[in-house]
Amino acid sequence: MGKTVICPGSFDPLTIGHLDIIKRSSALFDKVIVVVMRNLSKNMGSFTTEERVDFIKRCTTDLPNVEVDTYAGLLADYARLKGASAVVKGLRAISDYDDEFRQALTNQKLNPEMETIFMVSSSEHMFLSSSVVKDVCKLGGDITDFVPAEICDDIKKRLGKQ
């Protein structure tokens, strides 16, 4: 049996930075499960869970070892359920590390068999977040360099300046 890892996130919406982490993970591990998680500290979001799953699936069709799922419980429980040995998290800056480090320690306590792997964002994506994409789009800016081409029009249609 090969190594299965999880790339969790809210992906509201998926950015090219997210996709970069997913692609790099798929090159390193046998199976990557991209799981759309419900983030209790964030509001309901701009896109439904189903739309986010659809976006990710459309953007990962060329990655046969990637599957997409959703989960509303604890990440530590999901990893155990799926037999995943690790969680891969992208880090953009030191500010990300503080939150991710605390989450990793919590997950380690809840599921000692699960490791957390931090993958540093590619330099060209370090500034990018779903929040940046939403703000730029809502204010009428061009997001074509921020999101995968497969879903750019969907995002513009939902969030673009009317």
Catalytic amino acids?
A: 18, 42, 92, 130
Please check whether residue 54 is in contact with residue 68, taking contact to mean a CB–CB distance below 8 angstroms. Answer: no
Residue in the structure block whose two tokens are 């997210």: 18
Tell me which amino acid residue 93 is. Answer: A
